[in-house]
Structure 1
Amino acid sequence: MYYMDKLPTVISCCFCCFLRAGTVMIAIFSFIVGLIFVPNVSYAKGFWDMNSILSNYSSATESNIQLFLGILSIMLCAVSVLLLIGACCNLPILIEIYQWGAVVYCLGVMLLFFILAAFCFFIHTNCYLAGGALCALIICDILLTAYFVMVANSLRMSLKFLNDEGII
């Protein structure tokens, strides 16, 4: 039932700060990343606009990808706030909600960026650089999410252990 309990744990975040401080930094970083893509929900020009990279050949698909990316980003902002509250108030359930939300966000972004990269490589043959950048972003997203989930899980497991022992 608890798949997150089987993840590897770390004793500090980035080898230099405590788990709670690292988890708070992860929550703030995740919230900022979510904010970067949120303006695309309303089809307004945000920090990232795909119109200059991709042509209007498949604008319906590209617009839907922008919409889904915006929705995923709003979800990431929401679970980042839950992570911040969970880390500051010793609530392991909120940390676990963040973990699952981060995994869903990562999988969603990975799928959307893969679709865009496929468009860049196979449909719009003049934007190989953009497709390569999207593939690099997919790899970075997977690595960062895996590390963030492991750090958050380590704090959650330590809080859970301290709760079971009656220390908190």
Structure 2
Amino acid sequence: MSFMDKLPTVISCCFCCFLRAGTVMIALFSFLSGLLFAPNVTHIKGFWSMDPVLSYYSAATENAIQIILGIVSIMLCFVSGLLVVGACCNIPVLLEIYQWGAVAYSSIVLLLFLILTIFCFFVHTNCALAGFVLIFLMVVIVILTMYFVMVVNSLRMSLKFLASQDLIV
């Protein structure tokens, strides 16, 4: 029994759709969220760049944070693709890979945003608004990740349950 088996489960996604459809929507949302930050790897302006949020984006630390954020965003796009395949083809292992990938992504992003928030409040005191925005984003990331992992876990557990049952007709 893995750690993910002990998580709470839900019976529907967003109180209105089936777990499989909700999981596919979560995968699409996660993939698009990953695309928002992925261009930061090469410092190309993508859908959203970190440059306006960073105070002095020529600093080495902030450049490193931007590159790391881009790399983990590409990882999120990859595991989101695995989530779609796992949900559509009934492969619980791919769902668990997404769960661990989402937890890793959120942990890394929280750490990076915490570093940027510390920079905003204590190093560059002229960007307090950006620090508060980063704190808000950290709260949103934690809430969304917890909910997404619970929904995907519910589908994974139901797939494992159905696979283990001998249906008698």
TM-score using structure 1 length: 0.95
Q: Deviations over 1:59-102 (max 9, x none)?
A: 10000000000000000000000000000000000000000000
**In the TM superposition, what whole-angstrom CA distance separates every residue of 1:37-63 from its partner, at most 9, and x where no partner exists?**
110001222233333343438610000
CA distance in 1, matches of 2:102, 2:112: 15
Paired with 2:43 and 2:123, the residues of 1 have a C-alpha distance of 22
Contact 1:5 1:153 in 2 (8 A): yes
Gaps of 5+ in 1: none
Q: Is the Cα–Cα contact under 8 Å of residues 20 and 155 in structure 1 kept in the other structure?
A: yes
Answer 1 or 2: which has greater helix percent: 1
Residue 40 of structure 1 aligns with which residue? 40
Residue 19 of structure 2 is matched in structure 1 by 19
Answer yes or no: is the 8 Å Cα contact 1:54–1:124 preserved in 2.
no
Structure 1 residue runs of 4 or more that deviate by more than 6 Å after TM superposition: none
- Corresponding residue for 2:3? 3
User: CA offset at residue 8 of structure 1?
Assistant: 0.1
Q: CA RMSD in A?
A: 1.3
1:113 alignment counterpart: 113
Percent identity over paired residues: 67
- What TM-score does the superposition give when structure 2 sets the normalisation length? 0.95
**How far apart are the structure 1 equivalents of 2:162 and 2:126?**
56
Name the amino acid aligned to 2:30: S
6-15 vs 38-47, which moves further: 38-47
Structure 2 residue runs without a partner (length 5+): none
Query: What is residue 122 of structure 2 aligned with on the other side?
Result: 122
